[in-house]
Structure 1
Amino acid sequence: MSIPSFMADQITIIRDEIIPEIPEEVFDSHEFIRSFSKRFELEYVKFLNSYKTEPFRNVHAQIGKFLAENQEDLHIKSKGKTISENIFGIDNLNEKWEKLH
């Protein structure tokens, strides 16, 4: 199963459980990925394992694209770019999101 298909199947959990569990009203993709990967650890590892090169970059890019393409359904809004630490502790550019209520 592709990452977008999996996320589409889990959109209710993502919208109603994962996003609300992020403590800040404005969060970034790195924060979302940390929460998503905890909730769906086995699937996340399988997605990473499906890439021979740059697995984190490939998986994380698809997760970010899903957020961008499903803002309305997820009750979030893009707030531009920000710099934050990725899972390796390296600062890099990613998307910032605001929760909509």
Structure 2
Amino acid sequence: MSIDNLMKMKMSGIKIIISDLPEKFSSHDFIEKFSKKYESEYIGMLAEYKDKNAFKIVHSQVAKFLSLNKKTFGIEKAERNSSENVFGDRDVIQWWIHDKEKTYEC
């Protein structure tokens, strides 16, 4: 199953994750919460890309999914800024802003 299709199946859970995040959050913040809530699915996504820079590929596709569905989730792009990735390295990634009321209504 593609990452896009898996994420579409988890739309209501994603809305809850976003509503629980601070008003301003990074893609890494979202991925951390998503991977905890959907651990098995997240591991499966990574396994599809083993030996191919799996974390970078999966995380970029998750961020793309957020971008393509930003209206649905009540989020808007903020600046690209530094954030610590799962390996403790700093990356420049997308940050987001959401209106908790709009996210809740989705």
Q: Structure 2 length normalisation: TM-score?
A: 0.89
Structure 1 residue 89 displacement after superposition: 0.8
For the pair 1:63 / 2:56, whether they are aligned, the reply is: no
Question: In 1, distance between residues paired with 2:45 and 2:9?
Answer: 15
Q: What residue number does 2:104 align with?
A: none
Runs ≥4 residues deviating over 3 A: none
Which runs of no fewer than 5 residues in structure 2 stay unpaired?
A: 102-106
The count of aligned residue pairs is 99
CA distances 1:22-67 after superposition (whole Å, capped 9, x unpaired):
2x21000000000000010000001101113100001001000000
Q: What residue number does 1:48 align with?
A: 46
Q: What residue number does 1:3 align with?
A: 3
Question: What's the Cα RMSD here?
Answer: 0.8
Question: In 1, distance between residues paired with 2:5 and 2:57?
Answer: 15
Question: In 1, distance between residues paired with 2:28 and 2:78?
Answer: 14
Q: What residue number does 2:95 align with?
A: 96
Structure 1 residue 95 displacement after superposition: 0.4
Question: In 1, distance between residues paired with 2:6 and 2:74?
Answer: 18
Which runs of no fewer than 5 residues in structure 1 stay unpaired?
A: none
Give the aligned residue type for 1:75.
G
Structure 1 residue 80 displacement after superposition: 2.1
